[in-house]
Structure 1
């Protein structure tokens, strides 16, 4: 285990150390816990209410408080009214507690600030589809500004779990199956949010998404190389390149050791190797779970001691383990108070960095806020449009202006279908069904009626997830009378079994939920051309439909402007440019699957079953066409310097559009098996008809590195095949390059992951 001196915050200030020396044990513990004011029926976390000690805010704040949990994001409440409450409470901390330290306020912000009336952006899987790092940064900036206005200091986002199995319910919170794409977009979000003075929190460090059978909380059986080369890199990028200030531990256990009690990960990797000096916060109730679910702690005091020793500084959302149980453990001598002091130093240093140690709250709270401003909506619209993936198209799209359209399906006229699990609508308002949504969010049907001048009819057909087929006849009738049928199917995001995707909503199969496949089959049987629109939080196995539909569109919960974006794609106003950030699966039986597989992870003569996905990672069509030519690798490619690749991109079609240039590589011979394809770089570029541009992608050595047989991250000399194409599976233009030099051990002094592009 790392000693306390090594793992302590880097040079905590004299002021922070002085505060620590003045504190009683109770005052110390108060600074490393949160408090969550909530009511019966407001359960939005796993097993919430099963073990919490009932206490009111006045019972815990007399000694101060570390975090106020979800002040705005627990129930629908007017933001201005709640800000007045918060300012009054902070003044109380400043004026009435002995040390006068305000509380740090944290909120969920994965798809926007999780508060009633706040803008709700596309889900992270849609960020991945956009391949647009700059736009994700802008989104983070406007989210952060909203949070700062309301006195929020820390956001619990982004999620950097690399998708390993689409059956897992939390896929909609994730960005991609590719760690480089996850890392670049996640780091972009961190930079945007933190540029406003709000601290981002990386979730969930580490391994959560690699759970057994795609089950929430399932054990993780990943080997050390998979952890090092696939699961850790996005977090490393956000720490080293993004300067993130907070990290949340994963609920997972890896090879039998829960991450919340693993000092090798939380201290050895995160702090000693990467130099992270921020705070590590518990995923909600994660410390108590060491006792209640993992059974590696005899009681809550033991759980608190193990978590502190591993490096968990702050217990969220409440102090179930870090208050009375930890106090008793410290006083009995079973937990060293030096561990408490280490965590308190980090917590106080974060408050000092945020300016909280000097805050008096003698100003007035905001009297007017616009959490869904035109700027919010502009960014939401751009990200929604750029995230839509046109999977197939026989020329039916764009729909002719005078075409009679039948709109069918359970997600065609359902607002919640636009949003993910951690949106305020599906996460919180589900417990308040009589409260309006609070933001304008046109459904696909409503938006299409605004967009398309011709006749539009509508029938729901069926629900998302039941076996009621009574609406099939109406759906078939209106489809039969139309020129084209737009069939909008997919998911309902919710929590803990209440939906078809979301936290605790895992799947045994990858068929469309309920009787939706039967509805699609019934509409296809009419002979009317069908445009299949999938509003989902995961990819589904729909190979049976893609070849029979006139066109198919994948929309990963595109947010408040998503319905309008989809209508624009169907009409032709929006030229689709999204690319699949995850392979479109062939079957549940082929899972877990990733395009990053070695040779024996794909098809071959040694098995009778195919693993080839229905559509590959990176696939996506446009209403124009692009070519990639003249791939050039700059001289001087080396193991310690990486390489630079230039390719010419030309819009060969008839309208302006955006291409995603995708550079892949394959290490031909290596000391361990390597992926048959690996994303080495990408860049979105918009071109007018006939326009060409040279795109240069710089690949630093660290992006070529992998863990060798001795456990070192190295770049080995030898042949590297590189190519550019419209997906990982298509080599439109390729080259071979020899990496010169000796085997190179990558260090933190290298330009590890920087995304460098020149146009």
Structure 2
């Protein structure tokens, strides 16, 4: 291969028009090359063929097949391009199903269902000739002020890892390669600011930020990894051999390609200032282990070619990256593909099966935070529905949905899929009730002119449903989403004032939060009749919410992230050591308004008889069992949560750590025994010598309705020598059974 042919295989091409800016600083990059010129020597990746603008999928498939045939016929090597797309909440394409956001996956605590969703998404992608999906996001939530919280799964690395692994398995079962992002540390940014430096210590990186990636690679077999924009302790990840080679390849044995987050190689020069020019940036990234530059070849084409020819960059680094890129194409069957077959002539990207999965995941992810008995609604004659998210389709979707990510740039274009709003779903769920609506206020301005209509409607109703929350967008165009960070955790705009005004009417208020992050709503928990949390529940989200309000759905979601008490208490995680919580050494409370794992139901569950052996070897799994009973009057799902605390450690340890969970459905009066097996990797931590170990000593175990409640407890003693956990043999795989 010539140098130009090699570089072509490790870069992408993005066919887009002016104004189609759906990536950070995209407008700062201009390319004069058309597709024909850009592919003269071949091409590594075609970037977002379907996900850049609203295009008819069948027509675009014809275009794609023609371009692939051209690469096969008209370039010397005849290698087709690999096509990648975003797929965080479904294939990010016009007319494609849009599922709940990852924070809702976390609230479901249902890996099996997440795997089903991944397989459905992968099937759509494969049908359209897409080979690689840029998902899942495995960043652990560290600060709810960060705008990208809605893309994340949970504040607990084990939950992130199990659900992320399930998504990987589902997507890849359809023949589409998953891409883990953003490796690593991105979510631990200073003050919750996008792109801000990460000050995490090595132990936090090892014990909190890396485990989900390890799980998805070693247990899930993920085929691709995306490097993070972040710098950790002054070293940008895209220029870190320690992470991209030392951890990924030497420790974990990963052999697939590492792709750059969009423009991430150029950012080494433009933003991080660790490279004098794009050629030096390319050399740093290649040496660290970034194999493919996405979305285009800003650094890996002309600047890298010049750096190689001048001797500043060793061509062997290029060869290493090219081999990884070609090995991936070979695994996908692209090296032998001719594209002489015909593209699909009909596609259904939002089939009944997509809808079924979307509906079930939405229902399982709705969290009932508080309820004085008002819910479920008992045949009210008149309901007032107000709030900026009550009758707004976009309120149901996250930042990386096609509607909010792309369609926002194309006003006037139809959404392309059927999406009821909360008001519409409530009218359908409660056909005998009169539903009176009033906007009340907008998402994020100070206009209070709609308060009077909202309070009037509430005063004349039996119950008021207030649907408040976020609008997902990018780079300041939303209240949450990429580049939409917060310096407070109050509801945006004057939404809190609206809620308080309606509360003053005396009518019972059901507060529905449609958000992409948790807000500080402790003021509402004791004053509202009920509070319902939905984390951007997708195309079937409104019927799911209406189902919970009407009683058709028994809520079973659990909080994957703590509900904060204030912005000033951030960053906060339930995984804190003893001095990270409340105590007599400070006058300020740090504990959240509601804890990780919390969620109410319309029935009641008890957890009794937690059984654990008196002793367990440090290199053996901890085997425990607990009896779970439905003591209420209706069927429901419980999420059984097993927590542990290492009583004494060589370094400070969390006061609570989830080491197992299991969703179980029980009929009224039914009880089952749920068993857990927690392998050593799930109990391990990084000791003073930076070794990942399980130490001998006492272990407290409990099961309860959240991390903060010990409903049934047991103790065991870990015995034997310190066990050194090895990534090659000690796996995280979840084991639980009825």
Kindly indicate whether the alpha-carbon contact (under 8 Å) linking 2:614 and 2:715 is maintained by their aligned counterparts in 1. Answer: no
**1:193 to partner: Cα distance:** 0.2
Report the equivalent of 2:538: 559
Q: Choose from 312, 315, 325 the match for 1:337.
A: 315
For residue 685 of structure 1, give the secondary structure of its aligned residue in structure 2. strand
1:129 to 2:129 alignment? no
| SS of match in other structure, 1:183 | helix
Partner of 1:15: none
SS at match of 2:275: coil
Determine the C-alpha separation between the residues in 2 that align with 1:134 and 1:66.
33
Q: Distance in 2 between matches of 1:360 and 1:749?
A: 38
User: Match for residue 257 of structure 1?
Assistant: 235
Q: TM-score, normalization: structure 2?
A: 0.99
Q: Measured at CA, do residues 749 and 329 of structure 1 come closer, stay the same or move farther in structure 2, by a change above 3 Å?
A: closer
**Residue 302 (structure 1) aligned to one of 276, 280, 293:** 280
Residue by residue over 1:667-697, the C-alpha shift from the partner in whole angstroms, topping out at 9 and shown as x without a partner, is 0000000000000000000000000000001
1:75-114 correspondence to structure 2 within 5 Å: 75-114=53-92
Moved over 4 A (4+): none
Equivalents in 2 of 1:60, 1:297: separation in Å?
25
For 2:148 and 2:319, how far apart are their aligned partners in 1?
35
Counterpart-to-counterpart distance in 1, 2:108 and 2:120: 18
Query: SS where residue 27 of structure 2 aligns?
Result: coil
Match of 2:338 among 341, 360, 366: 360
Q: Deviations over 1:430-471 (max 9, x none)?
A: 000110111111010011111102111000100000111110
* 1:749 positional shift: 3.9
Q: Report how far residue 636 of structure 1 moved.
A: 4.8
Q: How does 1:507-522 map to 2 (within 5 A)?
A: 507-522=486-501
Instruction: Tell me how far apart the structure 2 counterparts of residues 88 and 748 of structure 1 sit (CA, whole Å).
Output: 44
Q: 8 Å contact 2:89–2:99 — kept in the other structure?
A: yes
Q: Secondary structure at 2:117's aligned position in 1?
A: helix
CA distance in 2, matches of 1:672, 1:400: 53
Matched position secondary structure for 1:63: coil
Distance in 1 separating the partners of 2:153 and 2:680: 24
> What SS does structure 1 have at the residue aligned with 2:510?
strand
- Work out whether 1:745 is the aligned partner of 2:724: yes
2:252 counterpart of 1:274:
yes
1:404 is displaced (CA, Å) by 1.4
User: Unpaired runs of 5+ in structure 2?
Assistant: none
Q: Distance in 2 between matches of 1:364 and 1:599?
A: 63
Paired residues for 1:66-81 under 5 Å: 66-81=44-59
Q: 1:22-421, aligned counterparts within 5 Å?
A: 23-421=1-399
The gaps in structure 1 that reach 5 residues or longer are 1-22
Would you say the 8 A contact 2:605–2:638 is kept in 1? yes
Question: What is the aligned partner in structure 2 of residue 538 from structure 1?
Answer: 517
Whole-angstrom CA distance in 2 between matches of 1:749 and 1:738: 26
Partner Cα separation in structure 1 for residue 29 and residue 457 of structure 2: 53
CA distance in 2, matches of 1:403, 1:229: 53
**Retained in 1: the 8 A contact 2:380–2:463?**
no
C-alpha distance in 2 between matches for 1:211 and 1:673:
22
Aligned residue for 1:39, secondary structure, equals coil
Deviations 1:640-689 (A, max 9, x none): 00211100000000000000000000000000000000000000000000
Within the candidate set 526, 550, 556, 2:529 is matched to: 550
Distance 2:347 2:256 in 1: 30
Deviations 1:494-553 (A, max 9, x none): 000000000000000000000001000100000000000000000000111110000000
The alignment of Structure 1 onto Structure 2 pairs a total of residues equal to 737
Q: Identify the match of residue 598 of structure 1 among 555, 571, 577.
A: 577
Separation (CA, whole Å) in 1 of partners of 2:443 and 2:107: 24
* 2:695 matched residue in structure 1: 716
User: Which among 641, 665, 670 is matched to residue 644 of structure 2?
Assistant: 665
1:201 & 1:613 partners in 2: Cα distance?
Answer: 33
**1:346 and 1:380 mapped to 2: Cα distance?**
35
TM-score where L is the length of structure 1:
0.97
Following superposition, the deviation at residue 635 of structure 1 comes to 5.5
Deviation string 1:60-108 (CA, Å, 9 cap, x unpaired) is 1010000000000000010000000000000000111001000000000
Question: Which residue pairs with 1:7 in the alignment?
Answer: none
Moved more, 310-319 or 56-65: 56-65
User: Within 2, Cα distance between the matches of 1:351 and 1:177?
Assistant: 35
Contact map agreement 1:642 1:704 (CA 8 A) in 2: no
RMSD (Å) for aligned C-alpha atoms: 0.6
What is aligned with 1:486?
465
For 1:588 and 1:749, locate their aligned partners in 2 and report how far apart those are by CA, in whole Å: 40
Kept in 2, the 8 Å contact 1:52–1:320? The answer is no
**Deviation, structure 1 residue 717:** 0.4
Partners of 2:384 and 2:171 in 1: CA distance? 42
Per the TM alignment, residue 397 of structure 1 is displaced from its structure 2 partner at its CA by 0.3
SS in 2 for 1:648: strand
Check conservation: 2:179, 2:226, Cα contact below 8 A. yes
Residue 585 of structure 1 is matched in structure 2 by 564
- Check conservation: 1:636, 1:643, Cα contact below 8 A: no
Is the partner of 1:62 in helix, strand or coil?
coil
Residues 1:456 and 2:435 are matched in the alignment: yes
| Residues 570-592 of structure 1: CA deviation (Å, up to 9, x unaligned) | 00000000000000000000000
1:462, 1:472 within 8 Å by CA — same for their partners in 2? yes
Distance, in Å, in 1 between the alignment partners of 2:273 and 2:727 is 36
- Give the match's secondary structure for 1:637: strand
Partners of 1:515 and 1:711 lie apart in 2 by: 48
Deviation, 1:637, is 1.4
In structure 2, the CA distance between the partners of 1:64 and 1:127, relative to structure 1 (3 Å rule), is same
Partner of 1:8: none
Q: Distance in 1 between matches of 2:723 and 2:518?
A: 38
State the alpha-carbon separation in 1 of the partners of residues 146 and 301 from structure 2: 34
Matches of 1:157 and 1:52, distance apart in 2: 26
Instruction: Tell whether the 8 Å contact from 2:615 to 2:716 is kept in structure 1 after alignment.
Output: no
Q: Is the 8 A contact 1:707 1:714 kept in 2?
A: yes
Name the residue aligned to 2:736.
757
Q: Secondary structure at the match of 1:49?
A: helix
How many angstroms apart in 2 are the aligned matches of 1:758 and 1:443? 38
Q: Which moved more, 1:479-488 or 1:626-635?
A: 626-635
For residues 402 and 493 of structure 1, the distance between their equivalents in structure 2, rounded to whole angstroms, comes to 32
Q: CA deviation at 1:53?
A: 3.2
Residues 326-364 of structure 1: per-residue CA shift (max 9 Å, x gap): 000000000000000000000000000000001111110
CA distance in 2, matches of 1:523, 1:571: 21
- CA shift, 1:617, in A, is 0.1
